[in-house]
Amino acid sequence: MGWDKEVDLLVVGSGAGGLLSALVGAANRADVLIVEKESQWGGTSATSGAGIWIPASDQAAEAGFHDTVDDAFRYVRGLSADNVPDANIRAYVSSAADMLRWMGANTAIQYCAFPYPDYHAENPGGSPTGYRTHMPLPIDGRGLGRDVETLRFASPAASLFGYLNWHFDETYVLLFRQKGWFLHLVKSLARYWFDLPFRFKSRKDRRLTLGNALVGGLRLALNDHKVPLWLECPMQELVVEKGKVTGAVVRHRGRDLRIGARKGVILAAGGFDKNDAMRGAHAPLYPNTLYSGGTAGNTGDSIRAGTAAGADTMNMQSAWAAPVFYVPGEDRGRLCTIERALPGSLMVNQRGTRYLNEAASYHIVGQQMARRDAEHGDASPSWFVFDHRYRHNYPVGPLLPLMPDWFQRGEVQSILKKGKTIEALAEDMGVDPAALAATVARYNSHAAAGEDPDFHRGQAAYDKMYGDPRVTPNPCLRPLDKGPFYAMPIYPGDIGTNGGLRTDDKARAVDAKGKAIGGLYAVGNNAASAMGESYPGAGVTIGPALTFGYIAARDALGVNEQ
């Protein structure tokens, strides 16, 4: 049977890994087609912070940080799962800086190295000073024309009021209300609302930041190369001929089309974040799709298609774990990153007791919450508890500071608990008042001295990253001593699954014997992560997605030179 259309590279999925692999193909004069299942493009990458973990980068060297690939390999190898091959980790840490250099030369995207400590900086090869995590600068999205209207919105946790994009640096200006913060906010709102006449037809902020900046910059470059991106075009199945993947069947405008791929098919369609059945079968620690930050289209279709074509899977039990707030009526959990490290707060289980270091990385906290709930049944939800000073100074998920309780959205008010005393708060939470009062009293007695003998909050370099530098001696600790007192439920969730198709160091899908399947590649959460079940630092989700997308396209096209 013939093809309805034939290209060199067929890319399934429009997140960062898929878009970059398509761009590498187009820049090497390949005929490329991108197909996207949903009506919006950008995938989960568009909703992310777009941090990428890149060891030994040019940007880090310019910032004065001396890094080596060998240190990075030792660090990741020590944290990753035993079943992840050395070659895969080595391929990532050795190619990441090359990928970033290439992306900077071929797109308008500019990344800067940040002094963001590795999550386990105390481990061999870790960096307590940071400069492996890189963040993108904002991009003007007006060059996208009408494509900006179908770009996926940023996550509610990464935007203000659900529509105003902000850059990583601006978070601190607003969070700590630094000098000039209000004028900055007014100017940002004015820029957004006076983007006329565009504002009359779209809520999209055309100043693209974070994940929107990354995928927007890639799409701008792809448009220059005239690479088509078909929306609402789910892949139905892969076409296998004589043991090799030669194309795929996609559903486009009401018709099934056979798309031939002369050089290869690159699967970059995410994990199975929103598939209850697959979660139940493979990832029982993270059973609830509602608490995942992934997008609705991440239902594991391409993983199942890959296995039908003979590919093996690996670490399907794993996810990028995270504590999340959930607002009734929303389609995903809201990642809780900063709030847990700020002073004047703590987390307790349903018995009213602490059980973890709240300021640890969100992956570690999410894992601990999930395991606690599996073992004791009292951590989903847990409770995020804070006092009036915290309520006035900092945001808590969807709960905004300075705005009175009655002015918050009704859905937010419905999950907010409040009491004049800790005991009254416990009653509203449905927690034993004596237990919660004892927990807070013990926490307060040590927090006043900046200490946490129970869980060592604020000791690690990463903990301090999100603390309030105005609070001493420990930026993560202050007693909860000013009522009224508040609590919000917080759940063990994730920002996506990260087990998937088993791949080799060239991002080729392999079978159960480790043999590469001709013509089939998998990147991002479509593939089992080289991190195993660990999370070494900010950006180890999208960093490998981009790097292995770069590797995959070059391998498919036989590109050996830079």
Low-confidence winner among 31-40, 66-75, 288-297, 431-440 (lowest mean pLDDT): 288-297
Mean pLDDT (whole number) for 176-193: 81
pLDDT at 165 (0 to 100): 83
Q: For residues 347 and 218, what is the distance between their CA atoms, to the nearest angstrom?
A: 39
394 Cβ contact list (under 8 Å, min separation 6): 175, 338, 339, 342, 401
Considering only residues 146 and 191, tell me which one the structure prediction assigns the higher pLDDT: 146
- Between CA 228 and CA 217 the distance in angstroms is 15
The dihedral over CA atoms of 142, 143, 147, 150, expressed in degrees to the nearest 10, equals -40
- Other CB atoms within a 10 A radius of the CB of residue 2 amount to 6
pLDDT at position 110 over 60? yes
Nearest of 224, 314, 316 to residue 32 by alpha carbon: 224
Q: Specify whether the CB–CB gap between 54 and 544 falls below 8 A.
A: no
Does 562 have pLDDT greater than 50?
no
Average pLDDT of every residue of the chain: 94
Instruction: Compute the average pLDDT of residues 290-306.
Output: 94
Residues 524 and 551 sit within 8 Å (Cβ to Cβ): no
Q: Give dist(CA 5, CA 23) in Å, integer.
A: 20
CA 387 to chain centre: 29
Q: Look at residue 41 in the predicted model and tell me its pLDDT.
A: 98
Taking the C-alpha atoms of residue 41 and residue 132, their distance in angstroms, rounded to an integer, is: 28
Q: In angstroms, rounded to a whole number, what is the distance separating the alpha carbons of residues 149 and 139?
A: 15
Contact 52, 546 (CB under 8 A): yes
Residue 419 confidence (pLDDT) above 80: yes
Instruction: Check residues 358 and 189 and name the one with the higher pLDDT.
Output: 358
pLDDT score of 547: 98
Task: Give the chain's length.
Answer: 562
Specify whether the CB–CB gap between 208 and 141 falls below 8 A: yes
Long-range CB contacts (< 8 A, 24+ apart) of 65-73? Answer: 65/113, 65/127, 65/129, 65/130, 65/131, 67/127, 67/131, 67/132, 69/93, 69/94, 70/125, 71/125, 71/127, 72/125, 72/132, 73/125
pLDDT reported for residue 6: 98
> Is the model's pLDDT at 561 over the cut of 70?
no
CATH for 322-494 is 3.90.700.10
Average pLDDT over residues 50-74: 96
Distance in angstroms (rounded) separating the CA atoms of residues 466 and 480: 18
Q: How far apart are CA 359 and CA 369, in angstroms?
A: 13
Q: Are 93 and 53 in contact (CB under 8 A)?
A: no
Percent of the chain at pLDDT above 90? 84
In this prediction, residue 29 has a pLDDT band, given cuts at 50, 70 and 90, of very high
Q: What is the model's pLDDT at position 402?
A: 85
CA–CA distance, 399 with 249 (Å, rounded to integer): 45
Give one DSSP letter per residue of 77-137, joined into a string: HHHS-TTS-HHHHHHHHHHHHHHHHHHHHHSS--EEE-----TTTTSTT--TT--SEEEEP
Give the pLDDT score at 182. Answer: 82
Look at residue 187 in the predicted model and tell me its pLDDT.
Answer: 87
Note the pLDDT of residue 413: 93
**What one-letter code names the amino acid at 23?**
L
Q: What does the angle CA 266 – CA 269 – CA 274 come to, to the nearest 5 degrees?
A: 160
Residue recorded with tokens 């630092």: 537
Q: Band the pLDDT of 188: cuts 50, 70, 90.
A: confident
Cα separation, 123 vs 391, in Å, equals 35
**What is the residue-wise DSSP string for 276-297?**
HHHHHHH-TTS--GGGB-S-TT
Mean pLDDT for 361-390 is 96
Percent of the chain predicted with pLDDT > 70: 99
| Confidence band for 373, pLDDT divided at 50, 70 and 90 | very high
The predicted pLDDT at position 136 comes to 95
